[in-house]
Each structure stands twice: as C-alpha cells, then as structure tokens.
Chain A
Amino acid sequence: MSTTPDIRFPRSTSETGRVSPKYTRHGSGAKGGFEMAAWLFMRLSGIVLVVLIFGHLFVNLMLGNGVHAIDFGFVAGKWASPFWQWWDLAMLWLAMLHGTNGVRTIINDYADRDTVRFWLLIVLFAAAAAIVILGTLVIFTFNPCPTVNGVPLPGSFCPKP
C-alpha cells in the first residue's frame, strides 16, 4: 500500500508568477498551531468565564446584604480565603488573556500596515502584562492590616494589637 504522494502546489511558490506580491503569503509554511490554540482558548475560556463572572456577581451583589455590603473590609474578607484568591486569579488571567487575544485579532484584521500592527501589538501586550502581573501581586500579597513604621493602620476589622 503506497502512501499519499507528495504533490507540490502548482504555482503558489513561483517567483515569476504575475500575482501581486501583496497577496503572496509571507511566512508561508508558518503553521497555525498558535492560531489554533488561540481559537480553542477563546471558546474554552469563554465558557469558564461565564461561570466565574456570574458566580462573582452573584456572591458580591446578591448574597447577604448584597451590593450594600461591599467595602474594603468585604474584599479583605474574601481575599483572606484561598478559595476566593484562586477564583479571582482565574478570573483575572482568563479575562485578560481572552480580552487581549480578542483585541489582537482585531488589530490583525484592521491594521493593514505592518509597522502600525507591530506597535499596536507591543502596546497591547505591554498593557496586558502589566495588569496581569500587578493583579496577581495584589491578590497574593494583599494585607488589609499593614503596619507602617511600627504603627498599625486603622481598620475596624483588624485585630487590636
């Protein structure tokens, strides 16, 4: 049993073809593994985000006193629990990557000059990285009762020294 013969594309790689170079795919042979992963990620993260975001909204706005209970102490209380730390971390990462990838595709679709596209993507990735890193730091290093110069800052919910 023979295998499928290796057939060359009839004209696409021809250098003398009369097709305008604008239409010749640069980076041809570059495989779309990343694009496929990005496409799949958008769908999967979208499903997970629906659960995470509506869970977040329900717990914050509906349970107990609802929206009136939200203050510094409420957030501090939630982040005292690893469960909510990881919930918020997942929400932050997935939402940022999902949104960044969405804007990336928009830039790819609408920026038709290569340099403009390059710089827009740089700005986008820098902004996304800054937000993700800062957000992750805040979630894990958050201390609602810090001591500054040996003096604990006031907070009604903080243990008395």
Chain B
Amino acid sequence: MTASTAEPASKVELPASVGGGGEIPTFDVTLRVRRYNPEVSDESHWDEFKLTMYGTDRVLDALHKVKWELDGSLSFRRSCAHGVCGSDAMRINGRNRLACKTLLKDLDTSKPITVEPIKGLPVEKDLIVDMEPFFQSYREIMPFLVAKGHAPTKERLQSPEDRERFDDTTKCILCAACTSSCPVFWTDGQYFGPAAIVNAHRFIFDSRDDAGDMRLEILNDKEGVWRCRTIFNCSEACPRGIQVTKAISEVKQAVLARQF
C-alpha cells in the first residue's frame, strides 16, 4: 500500500471568491406586528421593527430576532419551527401561513411585512390566540379510530387503494390556518370549521373505521358541512396543501348519500 489516500469524491472545492457560509445576501425588512397585551391595554396596536435579515431567513427568524434582540415581550407560539407541529400559524401580509415556512425573500420586502394573529379566535397576547374553541370542534367529530367487534391480535390491514382514499386529509397538522381563514367561522364562531371536517373526512373514508355514520350525523348539523359556501380560503391557506374544500364537499355528498 502506498502513502497518499485520495480525498473522498464528495468533497466540494470552493473557489477562493466564495467565502463560505456567511456569504448569503442580506436585506433590510420592516416588520409590522400587531401587539396586544390585556394587562396594559384593551386596545391592540402596531409595532414596527427594522431588521437586517438574510436570504435564507423565514418570518419566524425575523420574529426570533425581534424577541431575542429587540423586544423580549413579543409573544408568539412556535415549537418545531419546521412546518410540522402547526404552532405558528399567523396572518402574514393578510394571508394565513406558517411563519416557519414563509421565506422573507418571497414576500414584498419593499413594504412593511404585516404579522397578525389568526382571525376568529380570541387573542390572548400578541400573536397567541386561544385555540380551545378550535380543538372543541375537533374533539366533537371523534378524531380517533372506532372499530366494531373485537380488536384483532395484529394490525388492521388495508389495501393501498383504501388508504389512498383519505390520504390527503391525513396530512393535517391542526394549525388552524384553514378554520381561521374562513369568513363563515369569523361571523360567530359557531361553524365546525374546515379543520374539524377534514379530520372527520380522514376517518369517514377510512375502511377500517365503523363510526362514519356517527360522524356524518354530527356534521349534518345546522353549523356543520352545510355552512360551507365553497369560498376556498381554507384550501389556499392550508400549509400542507390539503384540498380542504374538496374534502368538505366529499363529506357533503356522503351525508346526502346516507339519506337517499
């Protein structure tokens, strides 16, 4: 064996002109955040923060920068920060999105970027809303498997076609971006909301579940699927790309099919 071992083929030679990781372009943004602190005032107000951010930064990074370096009293929810936990849904430039999935460079940085709490749910502080009414509707549709008879000793098998039937609605992360984008929900908060119906759809069309009829009965409520006006705000707001309005209309048809 002779001496020099070759470098692994995967090593990338960087030209001298590129300095490495720090060379991401920066730009200035103005963040307009709707602030609300019930211990200080019953009125909400707008705060503006001027920040220098990087091309790889998301709105969540800007909020972190404000909270960690400028104003520690700014309150918002976030957990995983990678678009899976569904904690940081907020209204950014008038649209419901996840702060952790919205890159600053994709927004119009020449104007202030507005960040507000999602609409239709009671604001607790700054960007934090009370999610309990949202979860109440979610619980009402029984978001768990209900199967007849004895539990099998092994897993409940399902064909790929049967699994495909409800695949889209399994993606929900319960961030409430859809429900809080729905004008019908804004009115009085009585409507079950798209998220509850999506999660009912997930079980109604699951061949292993036997409580589809009960869920359809629950959603055949005065405030159930029939309050959907096919506005499509929910489908546009969903950060997981679920075809929410389509799922709701499938539930509508299932309720109808049950009657006739």
Contacts and interface: CB of A to CB of B under 8 A. Distances in A.
Contacts of B256: 36, 40
A10 B214 contact: no
B232 interface: no
Interface stretch (A22-30, A137-145, A151-159): A22-30
B11 interface: no
Contacts of A33: 220
Interface residues of B, number: 34
B259 interface: yes
A7 B142 contact: yes
A2 B189 CA distance: 37
Nearest to B224: A32
Given A2-B148, A31-B221, A23 B189 contact: yes
A9 B146 contact: no
A24 B191 CA distance: 10
B136 A105 contact: no
B156 interface: no
Contact of B136 (A1, A23, A36, A40): A23
Given A7-B146, A22-B189, A32 B220 contact: yes
Contacts of A39: 226, 252
Contact of B148 (A4, A30, A109, A112): A4
B229 A109 contact: yes
A85 B224 CA distance: 39
Given A19-B132, A20-B133, A10 B224 contact: no
Interface in A20-60: 20, 22-28, 30-36, 38-40
Nearest to B213: A4
Given A23-B189, A25-B190, A25-B221, A5 B146 contact: yes
Interface in B149-200: 149, 183-184, 187-190
Contacts, number: 89
Contacts of A160: none
Contacts of A2: 148-149
Contacts of B220: 31-33, 35-36
Given A11-B139, A32-B220, A36-B256, A22 B188 contact: yes
Contacts of B222: 27, 30-32, 34-35
Nearest to A38: B226
Nearest to B147: A4
A107 B142 CA distance: 31
Contacts of A4: 146, 148, 210-211, 213-214
B130 interface: yes
B57 interface: no
Given A20-B122, A39-B226, A9 B148 contact: no
Nearest to A11: B139
B250 interface: no
Contacts of B217: 31
B61 interface: no
A10 B139 contact: yes
B47 interface: no
Given A12-B136, A105-B229, A36 B259 contact: yes
B132 A36 contact: no
B34 to A, nearest CB: 20
Contacts of B252: 39
Given A12-B140, A22-B189, A23-B189, A36 B226 contact: yes
10 contacts: A5-B146, A7-B142, A12-B139, A20-B130, A23-B133, A25-B190, A32-B224, A35-B227, A36-B255, A39-B252
Interface of A: 1-5, 7, 9-12, 17-20, 22-28, 30-36, 38-40, 105, 108-112
Given A4-B148, A22-B188, A36-B255, 12 more contacts: A4-B210, A7-B211, A10-B139, A11-B139, A12-B139, A19-B133, A31-B221, A31-B222, A34-B222, A35-B222, A108-B227, A109-B227
